[in-house]
């Protein structure tokens, strides 16, 4: 039998992404149209602008994806699309277009949870990775530590109680006037700083938990820098070290608790070079997807779609967007 051709679409936040996957892990094309220039003046994503920009580019992006992959629309076997979590207006654009194509071509529509997409992004770079494994989802909207037992079988071990880790990077960069998005900027500037220059506390929780919290670290940076001279390289290097210490501490606790040693690190912050280095230094069996699959992309949605498709798990056509969709209901 011919390998299925699945189109994956993600419009959950500020990137319009379209990919075409052949079989389990042959990414024929993975296009991302970034809106970052339009949101930069505001120092964060403006939902109204995001949905308008998705509308403007999505059809052209789909056409370009088909052209680049030398695939005709008639050849697609299924269409996978993010239906949550994310910004409601943004999600609506992707889902509506996907529904239109699925209806017109009479092919299966597969609604994908964006977080499941991030989890499956690891298979694009490591197709041989076997269940079970731990997945640390670190992005602008999410910080979740998940035990991935099988397709659709997830146990949430811990999540953030306030800001997501990428959000903390973005907010710290904003308060230091470094630009947007903050993650890649801090990653670069921190290389020239002393990570031990400033002592920023890792938040303590009552009782046993694998949860995270980053707003206190961000506030500590604010109070440290308020009204005094500082070396920005040292501040961001110390911030980054504290964040990574915290992530690594939780990962080790989760390994202790579950006995699982394999760790996939996914989502935008998994692109962070210091985090990657630290996981290696700690001799943790870490799996980081290629950079293109770390930040939001359509290939990871198509990948999750493939696993659902082969199990016959197709969505109803009346599926609706769910901006606050959870990984585990
Ligand atoms: O996964 P993603 O593209 O979108 C969400 O689903 O949120 O993640 C975007 C986040 C932003 O907060 C950005 O600052 C962060 O990922 N990020 C990074 C790096 N590259 C992107 N954070 C730290 N280091 C990086 N190199
Ligand atoms: Zn994401």
How many domains does the chain fold into? 2
Q: Indicate if the pLDDT at residue 227 is higher than 90.
A: no
- Domain of residue 101: give its range: 5-120+297-310
For range 208-225, the mean pLDDT: 96
Q: Indicate if the pLDDT at residue 268 is higher than 90.
A: yes
Same domain, residue pair 147 and 219: yes
Got the DSSP string for 251-262? HHHHHHHH---E
Q: Are 170 and 40 in contact (CB under 8 A)?
A: no
From residue 288, alpha-carbon distances to 51, 291, 305 in Å are 30, 8, 20
Ligand 1 atom index nearest CA of 165:
12
Coil vs helix vs strand at 263: strand
Ligand 1 pocket residue status of 86, Cβ below 6 Å: no
Please, how many CA atoms are within 13 Å of residue 126, restricted to the half-sphere of its CB? 17
Per residue in 134-147, pLDDT tens?
Answer: 999 999 999 999 99
For range 318-325, the mean pLDDT: 97
Same domain, residue pair 80 and 181: no
Gap between the Cα atoms of 148 and 1, Å rounded: 29
Same domain, residue pair 55 and 174: no
Q: Which helix (H) or strand (E) covers residue 196, if one does? A: none
Same domain, residue pair 92 and 215: no
Same domain, residue pair 63 and 182: no
Same domain, residue pair 14 and 113: yes
**Which of 97, 104, 59, 61 minimizes the C-alpha distance to 80?**
97
What are 209's two structure tokens?
Answer: 């938990």
Contacts of 329 (CB under 8 A, 6+ apart): none
Residue 327 lies in a domain: no
Ligand 1 pocket residue status of 143, Cβ below 6 Å: no
Confidence of residue 296 (pLDDT cuts 50, 70, 90): very high
Q: What is the pLDDT of residue 63?
A: 98
Residue 30 lies in a domain: yes
Q: Indicate if the pLDDT at residue 6 is higher than 90.
A: yes
Residue 26 lies in a domain: yes
Ligand 1 pocket residue status of 247, Cβ below 6 Å: no
Same domain, residue pair 176 and 235: yes
Q: Are 17 and 297 in contact (CB under 8 A)?
A: yes
Residue 321 lies in a domain: no
**Which of 243, 219, 267 minimizes the C-alpha distance to 121?**
267
What are 279's two structure tokens?
Answer: 């996981």
**Average pLDDT of every residue of the chain:** 96
Ligand 1 pocket residue status of 179, Cβ below 6 Å: no
Instruction: Tell me, rounded to whole angstroms, the distance of Cα 18 from its chain centroid.
Output: 15
Per residue in 65-117, pLDDT tens?
Answer: 999 999 999 999 999 999 999 999 999 999 999 999 999 999 999 999 999 99
Residue 80 lies in a domain: yes
Same domain, residue pair 198 and 237: yes
Q: What is the pLDDT of residue 252?
A: 98
Stated length of the chain: 329
Q: Indicate if the pLDDT at residue 1 is higher than 80.
A: no
For range 207-221, the mean pLDDT: 96
Ligand 1 pocket residue status of 187, Cβ below 6 Å: yes
Ligand 1 atom index nearest CA of 275:
24
Instruction: Tell me, rounded to whole angstroms, the distance of Cα 292 from its chain centroid.
Output: 11
Residue 44 lies in a domain: yes
Instruction: Tell me, rounded to whole angstroms, the distance of Cα 235 from its chain centroid.
Output: 26
From residue 271, alpha-carbon distances to 133, 276, 291 in Å are 19, 8, 6
Per residue in 115-162, pLDDT tens?
Answer: 999 999 999 999 999 999 999 999 999 999 999 999 999 999 999 999
Same domain, residue pair 52 and 153: no
CATH number, domain with residue 41: 3.30.420.40
Q: What is the pLDDT of residue 45?
A: 86
Residue 229 lies in a domain: yes
Going from the Cα of 314 to the center of ligand 1, the distance in angstroms, rounded, reads 30
Minimum-distance ligand to the CA of 45? 1
Same domain, residue pair 105 and 153: no
Q: Are 229 and 101 in contact (CB under 8 A)?
A: no
Same domain, residue pair 219 and 255: yes
Confidence of residue 2 (pLDDT cuts 50, 70, 90): confident
Coil vs helix vs strand at 165: helix
Q: Indicate if the pLDDT at residue 329 is higher than 80.
A: no
Q: Which helix (H) or strand (E) covers residue 171, if one does? A: helix 165-175
Going from the Cα of 268 to the center of ligand 2, the distance in angstroms, rounded, reads 7
Going from the Cα of 295 to the center of ligand 1, the distance in angstroms, rounded, reads 6
Q: Are 85 and 325 in contact (CB under 8 A)?
A: yes
Minimum-distance ligand to the CA of 269? 1
**Main-chain phi, psi angles of 80, to 5 degrees:** -105, 135
Confidence of residue 28 (pLDDT cuts 50, 70, 90): very high
Q: Where are the beta strands (DSSP E) in the chain?
A: 5-10, 15-22, 26-34, 78-84, 109-113, 133-138, 143-150, 153-159, 262-266, 285-287
Gap between the Cα atoms of 220 and 226, Å rounded: 10
Going from the Cα of 4 to the center of ligand 2, the distance in angstroms, rounded, reads 25
Residue 318 lies in a domain: no
Same domain, residue pair 243 and 202: yes
**Which of 278, 281, 286 minimizes the C-alpha distance to 260?**
286
């Amino acid at each position: 039998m011919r390998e299925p051709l699945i189109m994956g679409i993600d419009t959950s936040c500020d990137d319009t992404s379209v990919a075409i996957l052949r079989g389990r892990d042959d990414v024929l094309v993975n296009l991302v149209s970034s809106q970052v220039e339009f949101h930069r003046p505001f120092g964060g994503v403006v939902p109204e602008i995001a949905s308008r920009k998705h509308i403007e580019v999505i059809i052209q992006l789909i056409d370009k994806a088909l052209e680049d992959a030398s695939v005709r629309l008639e050849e697609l076997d299924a269409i996978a699309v993010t239906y949550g979590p994310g910004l409601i207006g943004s999600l609506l654009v992707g889902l509506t277009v996907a529904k239109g194509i699925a209806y017109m071509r009479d092919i299966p529509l597969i609604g994908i949870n964006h977080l499941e997409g991030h989890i499956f992004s690891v298979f694009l770079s490591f197709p041989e990775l076997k269940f079970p494994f731990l997945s640390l989802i670190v992005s602008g909207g999410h910080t979740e530590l998940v035990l991935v037992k099988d397709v659709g079988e997830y146990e949430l071990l811990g999540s953030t109680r306030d800001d997501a880790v990428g959000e903390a990077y973005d907010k710290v960069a904003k308060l230091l006037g470094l630009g947007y998005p903050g993650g890649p900027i801090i990653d670069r500037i921190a290389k020239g700083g002393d990570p031990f220059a400033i002592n920023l506390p890792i938040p303590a929780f009552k009782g046993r938990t694998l949860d995270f919290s980053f707003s206190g670290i961000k506030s500590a940076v604010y109070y440290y820098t308020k009204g005094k001279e500082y070396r920005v390289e040292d501040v961001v290097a110390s911030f980054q070290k504290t964040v990574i210490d915290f992530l690594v501490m939780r990962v080790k606790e989760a390994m202790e608790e579950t006995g699982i040693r394999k760790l996939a690190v996914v989502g935008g912050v998994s692109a962070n070079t210091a985090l990657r280095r630290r996981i290696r230094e700690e001799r943790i069996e870490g799996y980081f997807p290629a950079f293109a699959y770390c930040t939001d992309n359509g290939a990871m949605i198509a990948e999750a779609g493939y696993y659902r498709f082969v199990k016959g798990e197709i969505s109803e056509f009346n599926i609706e967007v769910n901006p606050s969709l959870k990984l585990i209901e």
